[in-house]
Amino acid sequence: MSRFSTIDAIYKVLRPGLFGLDAETAHRLTIAMFSTVPVFAGAKDPPELGIKLWGMDFSNPVGLAAGMDKNGVAIGGWQAVGFGFAELGTITPQPQPGNEAPRIWRVRQRRALINNLGFPSDGMEAVARRIERARKGRIKIRLALNFGPNKITPPDQVAADYASLMARVGALADFVVINVSSPNTPGLRNWQSPERMREIFNAMRESAAEAVERTPILLKVAPDMERNDLFRICDAALELKLNGIVACNTTIARAAVGVTSAHPGGLSGPPLKIRSREMIRDVYTHTRGQLPVIGVGGVTSASDAWLDIRAGASMVELYTGLVYEGPALVRKIKSGLLSLLRREGFRSIGEAVGVDR
C-alpha cells in the first residue's frame, strides 16, 4: 500500500467518528492527524496537469483553500496528499482566539459548512517559524499565505496590519492572498473598495517594498457583491498591478443558495458553486485574462474543477469538499482532469483556461 493510500485508508476509518463530533473538534483532530504525516514527495504529476503562473511552475492546479490550515502546522500532509499548492491562513499579525464557540456548523443535506471563526491565529511570528522550518526540509509544495488584520485593530490601522504581515512573512510565500472579504470580522468587507485597496497596497509597498516586488499578490473577493462592484475591483487591481484574484470567499446568503440555516457566518461548499463560477467568468472576461483567477467554492469533483478552469480559473482550491470526501478527493480530481484534458484534445491546463468565456 502506498503512503497516499494509507492516509486515505486511515481517514476512512476515522471519518464516522469525526462526523460524530462537533465540527470544530473534528477539524482540530483532522489537522492534528495531517500534521503527523511524514514529509514525502508522493507520485509525480503528469506534465499535462502542470501550469506556470507568475514565473513559477505548479505541478498541478489543485490547491488547499485558506481556512483549513490556519497556522501552517500540516504542510507536509498537504504535500503528501498531492496538492499542487496550499494556501495557509488567514494569518494575523498578533495571536488572537477568534470568535466564541460554537463557530463551525455542518449543513449535511447540502454537504456544506458554515463558519464564524473570525481569524483564530497563532500570529505571524509562530507561523513564520513553521514555514522557515518547512523550507529547510523536504517541502516542495508551493505555499500561499493568506493575510488578515487583527479584530482589535482600529480602522485607521488596518492597512498597517497588512503591511506588517507582508514585511514579516511575505518573502516566505510563493504568493500572498489579501483577505478583505471574510464576513466574520466586522467591517472587513468595507476594504474591498478601490480606495481602500489602494490604501492597503500603498502601505505594503512603503514598508515591504522588496517583498512586494518579488512576491505575487492576489486579492480574495466576496461573492456577495454586485457585478459592477466586482468590475471596479478588477479595474483597481489592474491599476495597482496586482497579480490575480481569488474568487471567492464564503457567502452570507442563505435562501438565495437554497440553505435555511440561521447560524451566523460564511457558507461554503456546493451551494456556492454557481456563484463562484459566475465570478470566475466575470473576472476573466472583464480583465481579458490579464488577472489569473483561482477558483474557490463548491469544488467536489473533476467536473467542477474542469468547468471552473474553462470559465477562466487557472487553478482551483478545495476545503469543504475535502471535509466531506476525504483526501482521496485530490487524487480523483487530478485523475479526472487528466482524462478530460485528453478527451477534449487539450495538451495542458493552460490551454483550457477561459475557453467557455
Residues annotated catalytic, as ranges: 182
Rounded Cα–Cα distance for residues 305 and 256 (Å):
23
Cell of 333: 480530481
DSSP designation for 46: P
DSSP strand E in 108-183: where?
Answer: 112-115, 142-147, 175-179
Rounded Cα–Cα distance for residues 250 and 221 (Å):
9
Rounded Cα–Cα distance for residues 237 and 243 (Å):
8
Q: How many CB atoms lie within 10 A of CB 226?
A: 8
Cβ atoms of 101 and 24 within 8 Å: the answer is: yes
Cell of 176: 500572498
249: left (phi over 0), alpha (psi -120 to 50) or beta: beta
Rounded Cα–Cα distance for residues 25 and 30 (Å):
9
Cell of 222: 466576496
Cβ atoms of 67 and 95 within 8 Å: the answer is: no
DSSP designation for 121: B
Helix axis angle, 158-169 relative to 194-207, nearest 10°? 40
What burial class does residue 84 get, using C-beta atoms within 10 Å of its C-beta: 0-12 exposed, 13-18 middle, 19+ buried? buried
DSSP designation for 103: -
Nearest to 317 by CA among 42, 78, 43: 78
